[in-house]
Amino acid sequence: MNSFNRRDFLKLAGAAAGVAVSGFPAIVRAGEKARVIVIGGGYGGAICAKYLKMADPGIKVTLIEKESHYVSCPMSNEVISGERELDSITFTYRGLSAHGVQIMQDEITRVDPHAKAVWGSSGNKYRYDFLVVSPGVDYKWEGYNGFSEEASREKMPHAWKAGPQTILLRDQLRAMPDGGTAVIVAPPNPFRCPPGPYERAAQFANYLKHSGKTRSKVIILDQKDKFSKQGLFMQGWKQHYGNMIEWRGASGGGKVDSIDVDEMTIIGDVEDVKGDVVNVIPPQKAGHLAQVAGLANDSGWCPVDQANFESTIHKDIYVIGDACIAGSMPKSGYAANSQGKVAATHIAARINGISAPEPSYVNTCYSVIAPGHGISVAAVYTLQGGKISGVKGAGGLSPMDASAAVRAVEEKNAHGWFRNIVDDMFG
Amino acid sequence: MRTKFKLSALLVTGALALATGPAMAGDVATELSNTCAGCHGTNGYSAGETMPSIAGLPQGYLRRVLMEYREGTRQSTIMGRIMRGYDDAQVHAIADWFAAKPWKAAASHASEAQVHKGKSLIATCGACHVDDGRTGNDAMPPLAGQVEDYLAVVLHASQDPDRTPPQPEGMRLMIQSLSHDDIAAIAAFYASQH
């Protein structure tokens, strides 16, 4: 932007009025700019809508979300342990309205990429020039024999979308007697929030310790043999909760053969585990809308151009957040935030007929093991040979040998992270 | 960024056909700096807790601090890991982008009693941090209106004689004797100044 100043541009634009456009890729209708519809108001969609407006207030941006409020998955494990209430992780869309984003509460049931329109269960039809889909995850209910969506509703909550399921799981844990067993079935890769099940185990134990139910056990039955921040979690579990938390990897007895819902029992390859509380986190795939719209491939996830998140299946539709396949990036809230911004910049550039800058992506993810004990992982990503790849030498985990003071600062930073990322979305 | 897109739209609606391809490159500094907002708030204005506001800090200060994080000469929990992802030009682009924003005081919820106590403790601070911390320069950040918990975290960390980079000797010696409550009060005082 460098060689012209504003006045030069205005002069040029004025002088050129009336000259025919040939092959200019901008999308402009008479009297109005392009219309972008964003479906899904979470960590990806809310950010994308806001940053589209920040990039160019002239773009018409509509956010369509089926719920009236958003409940954050990050920090929901602290609701389960009683460290915070659900209110503190619940947000409205009023802030986005103030940025000029039109908010529609509707559930989109049909997408027609050729007609460039979507339909809601309200009966409304919405036309778009560009569509952004940020549908999060859906569950493969058939992933564990004997398990079902119905089983998750009351007996074995997943609590992998925050809200009523979070409260259900919290209340089940509170009702568990001392000496009881709480089981967490951790899903196979890839899934939303890789450190989430292990932070949850820590927050289960945090509740059990502080409520005096110290004879209780938390058993993680994992469908894989290693997990995110593993060394840091195991160190922290031991430090704060002794032997209360037991992790069984897939090949060490964690693998689920089937689930007996009535008996509250996980049938394993090696042995069966009966729980007083059984938190089954199912295997996952891209959110329902992505499947309906034909945006997912055989993997269950959505392939996208790694430079900008435009679907490689349907043009002018972008898929961001947990639903998309994004190279080395994990399915995390911060990754969705970063992807939403890259997509917003790209769409705004296309609408204005300029080229988008080289994409830049970041992930930062905190986990709270106990009050005063936080850990983190971070990465900076660039496009390398068409793939989103971590910059060598950057990023990584909190050190294993950090002092208690550093762990305490990281716990404060976890909460500061949360305060700011939700403000970035909804403020 | 906003101005640029508006201008570009003018080009199009004015039917300017200087080029057949994209007219200009997008804003690299904004693309890089947007990634910071998830922790430091939109445009670098922090919503609080321990994350500092970085919008409007002095350019030379930001450049130096970000470089020190990257080189490992400034202690951090996570900033070193992140800054190692950027080359010199990118670090400068990010620093300059935030430095160009106006400084705005973060919301302060400090109690009057805390602020009053803090004011009674900052006589020596004022020798360098003049005008109740409202003035910053490339060597020294402004304190007035910075996020309270962040100021407290930095003061606690600065009590460690081995912290890098070392504080100026006078400051290090002065803060050695501060209690936890003293630090909280000083942080509350500076955070409350606008």
The predicted model gives A100-125 an average pLDDT of 98
Using an 8 Å Cβ cutoff, are A88 and A74 in contact?
Answer: no
Instruction: Please check whether residue B4 lies inside any domain of the structure.
Output: no
Q: Label the pairing between strands A117-120 and A28-29.
A: unpaired
Domain limits, chain A: 6-138+285-357, 143-282
With CB atoms and an 8 Å threshold, state whether A54 touches B8.
Answer: no
Same domain, B89 and B117: no
- In terms of Cα–Cα distance, which of A334, A284, A327 is closest to A305? A327
Rounded distance between C-alpha atoms, residue A287 and residue A300, angstroms: 9
Whether residues B31 and A359 touch (CB distance < 8 A) is answered with yes
- Residues of chain B in contact with residue A309, where contact means CB-CB under 8 angstroms, are none
Which of A402-406's residues contact partners 24+ apart within 8 Å by CB, and which partners? A404/A372, A405/B156, A406/B77
Do B188 and B119 fall within a single domain? yes
**Closest Cβ–Cβ partner in B3, B26, B48 for A419:** B48
Between B44 and A10, the more confident residue is B44
Instruction: Let me know: does B143 contact B133? Beta carbons within 8 Å.
Output: yes
Q: Give the nearest partner residue to B23 out of A353, A356, A405, using CB atoms.
A: A353
Q: Which residue of B has its CA nearest to A351?
A: B9
Residue A263, number of CB atoms within 10 A of its CB: 11
Pairwise CB contact (< 8 Å): B7 & A13: yes
Amino acid at A310: E
Q: How far apart are alpha carbons A370 and A45 in whole angstroms? A: 31
Contact (CB<8Å) A6/B153: no
Beta bridge partners of A137: A286
Whether residues B135 and B85 fall in one domain: no
Give yes or no for a contact between B56 and B102, defined as CB atoms under 8 angstroms apart: yes
The yes-or-no verdict on residue A9 having pLDDT over 90 is no
For residue B5, tell me if it sits in a domain: no
- Residues of chain B contacting residue A360, judged by C-beta atoms under 8 Å apart: 31-32, 34-35
- Give the rounded percent of residues in chain A with a pLDDT score beyond 90: 92
> In this structure, what CATH number is given to the domain that contains residue B176?
1.10.760.10
The predicted complex's ipTM stands at 0.90
For the record, the structure tokens of B167 come out as 């504080």
Residues whose CB is less than 8 angstroms from the CB of residue A3 and which lie 6 or more positions away in sequence, other chains included: none
Would you call A420 and B28 a contact, using CB atoms and an 8 Å cutoff? no
* Distance to chain B for A399, nearest Cα, Å: 9
- Nearest-CB residue to B41 (from A356, A360, A420): A420
What DSSP letter does each residue of A173-217 carry, written as one string? HHHPPTT-EEEEEEPPSS-S-TTHHHHHHHHHHHHHHHTT-TT-E
Q: What share of chain A is helix, strand, coil (3-state, %, to 5)?
A: 30, 25, 40
Residues B100, B126, single domain; the answer is: no
Interface contact flag, B25 A341, Cβ < 8 Å? no
Please indicate, yes or no, if residue B7 is contained in any of the structural domains.
no
Please identify, among B83, B104, B125, the residue that sits at the C-terminal boundary of a domain: B104
B14 pLDDT tier (thresholds 50, 70, 90): very low
- How many Å lie between the alpha carbon of A149 and the closest alpha carbon of chain B? 33
Mutate to test the interface with B, among A424, A425, A426 (most CBs of B within 10 A): A424
A contacts of B48 (beta carbons < 8 Å): 416, 419-420
Q: Which residue would you say has higher pLDDT here, A27 or A111?
A: A111
B39 assigned to some structural domain? no
- Whether residues A358 and B31 touch (CB distance < 8 A) is answered with yes
Residue B135's CB is within 10 A of a number of other CB atoms, namely 15
**Residue B3 domain-assigned (yes or no):** no
pLDDT > 80? residue A12: no
For A32, name the nearest residue in chain B, comparing CA atoms only.
B13
Residue B43: inside a domain, yes or no?
no
Label each residue of B68-133 as H, E or C. Answer: HHHHCCCCCCCHHHHHCCCCHHHHHHHHHHHHCCCCCCCCCCCCHHHHHHHHHHCCCHHHCCHHHH
Looking at domain A6-138+285-357, which CATH architecture does it have? 3-Layer(bba) Sandwich (3.50)
Give a yes or no: residue B164 inside a domain: yes
Residues counted in chain A:
427
pLDDT, chain A, mean = 93
Q: What angle do CA A66, A70, A71 make, to 5 degrees?
A: 125
Same domain, B90 and B141: no
A291's tokens: 């499947």
The three-state secondary structure class of A166 is helix
- The verdict on B121 and B169 lying in the same domain is yes
Shared-domain flag, residues B134 and B172: yes
Containing domain of residue B57, as a range?
22-34+49-104
Percentage of chain A beyond pLDDT 70 is: 93
Asked if A356 and A308 touch (Cβ cutoff 8 Å), the reply is yes
User: Could you tell me which chain A residue has the CA closest to the CA of B11?
Assistant: A13
Chain A and chain B share a number of CB contacts under 8 A equal to 221
Cα A26 to Cα B1: distance, rounded to the nearest angstrom: 17
| pLDDT value at residue A26 | 52
Model pLDDT for residues A237-263, shown as the tens digit of each residue: 999 999 999 999 999 999 999 999 999
Q: Are residues B128 and B147 in the same domain?
A: yes
Per-residue pLDDT, B183: 97
What are the pLDDT digits (tens) for B85-119? 999 999 999 999 999 999 999 999 999 999 999 99
Domain membership of residue B121 (yes or no) is yes
Q: How far apart are CA A107 and CA A118, in angstroms?
A: 10
How many angstroms away from the CA of B84 is the closest CA of chain A? 5
A143-282 matches A6-138+285-357 in CATH topology: yes
Residue B126 and residue B98 share a domain: no
- The total domain count for chain B is 2
Alpha carbons B27 and B4: distance in angstroms, whole number: 9
From B14's Cα to the closest Cα of chain A, the distance in A is: 5
Q: Are residues B151 and B92 in the same domain?
A: no
Residue A49 sits at φ, ψ, to 5 deg, of -60, -45
Pick the CATH number of A143-282 from 3.30.70.580, 3.50.50.60, 1.10.357.10, 1.10.3720.10: 3.50.50.60
With contacts defined as CB-CB under 8 Å, which chain A residues touch B24? Answer: 1, 354-355
Q: How far apart are the first and last CA of chain A?
A: 29
Measure in Å the smallest separation between the Cα of B171 and chain A Cα atoms. 21
Task: Tell me if residue B146 falls in helix, strand or coil.
Answer: coil
Question: What is the rounded distance in angstroms from the CA atom of residue A4 to the CA atom of residue B68?
Answer: 34
Task: Tell me the DSSP string of A50-88.
Answer: HHHHHH-TTSEEEEEESSSSEE-STTHHHHHTTSS-GGG
**Beta strands A396-397 and A70-71: pairing type?**
unpaired
